[in-house]
C-alpha cells in the first residue's frame, strides 16, 4: 500500500515514545487495524473474504510477523523492549515487502477487485464478488478510522474505484459466461475460428448442433450442414454469403460505445471498441475502431470501459466478430501487470 513518506529503520538506541502510535511502521498500523476489524466479523465467509483482501495490502491476519503474547505486550505499551521488538520485526518485514513489490494502496485495490477476484479466486462467483466489494469498503473505513493517514488521504480515490467495481465486477463475471454470443459464434462456425476448426468442440452452442442419432459419416455430414444452415440463419443478411475471414488475432478490446438496435437488424446492437494496449494502458492509436454485433441481452450488460480479451476476426466486407473469449476485465484493471503473473 502507499507510503506517505519513505519507510525509516528504527535504531536500537532510539528513544521510543510508548504512546506515539504514529511512530509505528505502516505495516504494523495496517496489521493492527485490519485484525481489529477482522475480529468484529462473525460470518466465516466474510472472514475469508477479508483474508483474501488484506493480502492485497501485504497484510496477513493469519500469519502475523509476531506472536499473540508479543502483540499483547505491545498493546499495553508498558514494556519498552517489547514495543521496540515488535516495531523492529514489522519494520523488517515492511522493508522486505518494499523490495519485492509495491505498497501502492490504489493499485492494490484495483488488483484485488480484478485479477484476484476473477482469476485467483474465481469460485467466489457474482455474490462473492459483490460481497468482496462491500467487505473491502468497510475495511477501508476501518483503516481510516484508525488514523492511518496513508489510507485516509486516498479515501476519495479508493471510494471511486469501489463504486466502479460495484457496478462492473458482476458484469465482468456474467459477460465472461455469456460471450461471445450467438451472432459471433455463428460467424466462428461459418468463416473461421473456434467452432469452424472443431465442430465437436465442447463450447459449441446447443442451437448450432443437430441431434446426432447415429455415428456414421453421412449422419455427421448432415449434422454439420444443419449446424451451418442454422448459423447462416442466425447472421441473416448482416454478413454476405461470399464474405471471407481475412485476419485473426488475439486482442484486448475496450468498449467505447453501445448503440441502440437498428431498424435493419433489430435483433442485434452495434458495439464499438478500440484495440487496447495493456502495457501502456491506452488505446492503440494506429488501430481503427472495431464494430461488433451482439444480441440485445448481452449488449445491455456491456458498459463503456470494459475490456474484452478474445480472438478478433476481420471479414472481407469490413465487419469483425470475436470468439474464444478469455476474460472480460473491469475498466480499472491494471492489465499492464497481468501478463507478468
Which has more confidence, 148 or 162? Answer: 162
Alpha helices in the chain (DSSP H): 26-40, 44-55, 68-76, 80-100, 105-111, 125-145, 149-152, 155-178, 182-190, 217-235, 296-299, 335-338
Model confidence at 187: pLDDT above 60 = yes
Model confidence at 32: pLDDT above 80 = yes
Instruction: Specify whether the CB–CB gap between 338 and 279 falls below 8 A.
Output: no
Cα separation of 18 and 77, whole Å?
Answer: 6
Model confidence at 12: pLDDT above 70 = no
Model confidence at 20: pLDDT above 50 = no
Q: Provide, rounded to the nearest whole percent, the portion of the chain with pLDDT above 90.
A: 46
Confidence of residue 5 (pLDDT cuts 50, 70, 90): very low
Model confidence at 43: pLDDT above 60 = yes
Instruction: Specify whether the CB–CB gap between 243 and 319 falls below 8 A.
Output: yes
- Number of C-beta neighbours around residue 203 at 10 A: 13
Q: Which of 87-96, 159-168, 241-250 has the lowest mean pLDDT?
A: 87-96
Record the cell numbers describing residue 267, joined without a space: 435483433
Query: pTM of the entire structure?
Result: 0.80
Confidence of residue 197 (pLDDT cuts 50, 70, 90): low
pLDDT reported for residue 200 = 42
pLDDT reported for residue 297 = 92
Model confidence at 206: pLDDT above 90 = no
Cα separation of 312 and 63, whole Å?
Answer: 45
Mean pLDDT of 207-219: 46
Confidence of residue 93 (pLDDT cuts 50, 70, 90): confident
pLDDT reported for residue 195 = 64
Range with the largest mean pLDDT of 25-29, 169-173, 239-243:
169-173
Confidence of residue 337 (pLDDT cuts 50, 70, 90): confident
Short-list 45, 219, 199, 29, CA closest to 124: 45
Distances (CA, A) of 340 to 48, 136, 279, 280: 26, 25, 11, 14
pLDDT reported for residue 222 = 57
Short-list 221, 223, 274, CA closest to 251: 274
Confidence of residue 125 (pLDDT cuts 50, 70, 90): confident
Q: Which of 39-48, 89-98, 109-118, 211-220 has the lowest mean pLDDT?
A: 211-220
Cα separation of 85 and 89, whole Å?
Answer: 6
Confidence of residue 1 (pLDDT cuts 50, 70, 90): very low
pLDDT reported for residue 6 = 40
Which has more confidence, 127 or 336? Answer: 127
Which has more confidence, 173 or 200? Answer: 173
Q: What is the pLDDT of residues 262-297, one digit of tens each?
A: 777 788 999 999 999 998 889 998 888 999 999 999
Burial class (CB in 10 A: 0-12, 13-18, 19+), 99: exposed
Amino acid at each position: 500500500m502507499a507510503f506517505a513518506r519513505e519507510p525509516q529503520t528504527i535504531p536500537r538506541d532510539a528513544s521510543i515514545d510508548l504512546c506515539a502510535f504514529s511512530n509505528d511502521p505502516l505495516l504494523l498500523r495496517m496489521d493492527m487495524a485490519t485484525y481489529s476489524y477482522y475480529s468484529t466479523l462473525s460470518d466465516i465467509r466474510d472472514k475469508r473474504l477479508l483474508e483474501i483482501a488484506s493480502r492485497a495490502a501485504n497484510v496477513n491476519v493469519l500469519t502475523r510477523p509476531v506472536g499473540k503474547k508479543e502483540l499483547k505486550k505491545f498493546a499495553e505499551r508498558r514494556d519498552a523492549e517489547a514495543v521496540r521488538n515488535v516495531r523492529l520485526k514489522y519494520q523488517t518485514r515492511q522493508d522486505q515487502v518494499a523490495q519485492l513489490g509495491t505498497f501502492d494502496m490504489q493499485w492494490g485495490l484495483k488488483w484485488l477487485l480484478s485479477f484476484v477476484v476473477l482469476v485467483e479466486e474465481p469460485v467466489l462467483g457474482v455474490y462473492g464478488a459483490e460481497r468482496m466489494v462491500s467487505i473491502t469498503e468497510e475495511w477501508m473505513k476501518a483503516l481510516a478510522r484508525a488514523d492511518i493517514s496513508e489510507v485516509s488521504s486516498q479515501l476519495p480515490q479508493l471510494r471511486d474505484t469501489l463504486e466502479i467495481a460495484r457496478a462492473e465486477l458482476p458484469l465482468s463475471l456474467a459477460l465472461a459466461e455469456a460471450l461471445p454470443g450467438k451472432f459471433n459464434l455463428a460467424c466462428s462456425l461459418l468463416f473461421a475460428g473456434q467452432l469452424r476448426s472443431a465442430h465437436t468442440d465442447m463450447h459449441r452452442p446447443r442451437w448450432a448442433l443437430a441431434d446426432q442419432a447415429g455415428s456414421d459419416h453421412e449422419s455427421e455430414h448432415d449434422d454439420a450442414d444443419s449446424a451451418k444452415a442454422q448459423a447462416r440463419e442466425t447472421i441473416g443478411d448482416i454478413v454476405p454469403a461470399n464474405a471471407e475471414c481475412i485476419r485473426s488475432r488475439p486482442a484486448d478490446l475496450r468498449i467505447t460505445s453501445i448503440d441502440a438496435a437498428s431498424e435493419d437488424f433489430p435483433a442485434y446492437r452495434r458495439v464499438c471498441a478500440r484495440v487496447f494496449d495493456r502495457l501502456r494502458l491506452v488505446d492503440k492509436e494506429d488501430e481503427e475502431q472495431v464494430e461488433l454485433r451482439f444480441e440485445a441481452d448481452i449488449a445491455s450488460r456491456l458498459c463503456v470501459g470494459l475490456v474484452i480479451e478474445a480472438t478478433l476476426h476481420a471479414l472481407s466486407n469490413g465487419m469483425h466478430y470475436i470468439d474464444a473469449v478469455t476474460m472480460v476485465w473491469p475498466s480499472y484493471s491494471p492489465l499492464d501487470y497481468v501478463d507478468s503473473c
